[in-house]
Chain A
């Protein structure tokens, strides 16, 4: 089954404790992206990747890192999480970053930073 998976689905952590949220897709998509979703603000892009070893900042990259060492995986790293990073996070992928491509979303990771 074609899908985007994320782990963990839920995470409660404390300020400053490094964490990684994994994202994997099995559709051989080139383009992958991370969003956060907060009430009243909609989905905001954190980072995106056009292909292996090609990543760039989205609208809200501060406090986050990503890597794209292989096509299927695009982990999101929070080196020193803070309470303002409490949010619902979605990973998404599409064939390429072209205008007609549909983005497919993972199930989401609900992160709480205390």
Chain B
């Protein structure tokens, strides 16, 4: 079956570093996305990994290990505005030949002064 797990909530301090983990099980992995979603707003794209390793984009980095079914999103130099939910989503080669995007429930991050 298909399953994505990520922690429900995390807290961190302004200026610190936080790592949000995501584990997944899919029948046909074809890429992993991280989205940021502020309360009541639309998800916005943060990063995409399809090969093993680290993708760095400013203060945000995303890591993927396909053999372990594992990814993490690393946020450095945390700012108050980083308080949001972070959604892990996996592309799955569906039986019908269409690339399906499966979302985790999201990790709600609270950044404190």
Contacts and interface: CB of A to CB of B under 8 A. Distances in A.
Interface string B43-55: 1110010100000
- A-B pairs, top 4 by smallest CB distance, nearest first, are A105-B42, A43-B103, A42-B105, A42-B103
Given A99-B31, A102-B48, A45 B101 contact: yes
Interface of B: 4, 8, 30-31, 33, 40-45, 48, 50, 87, 89, 91, 96, 98-101, 103-106
A70 to B, nearest CB: 21
Contacts, number: 53
A107 B42 contact: yes
30 contacts: A35-B103, A42-B4, A42-B87, A42-B103, A42-B105, A43-B87, A43-B89, A43-B103, A48-B98, A56-B96, A56-B98, A88-B40, A98-B99, A99-B91, A100-B31, A100-B48, A100-B50, A102-B33, A102-B45, A102-B48, A103-B33, A103-B101, A104-B45, A105-B43, A105-B44, A106-B42, A107-B41, A107-B42, A108-B42, A110-B40
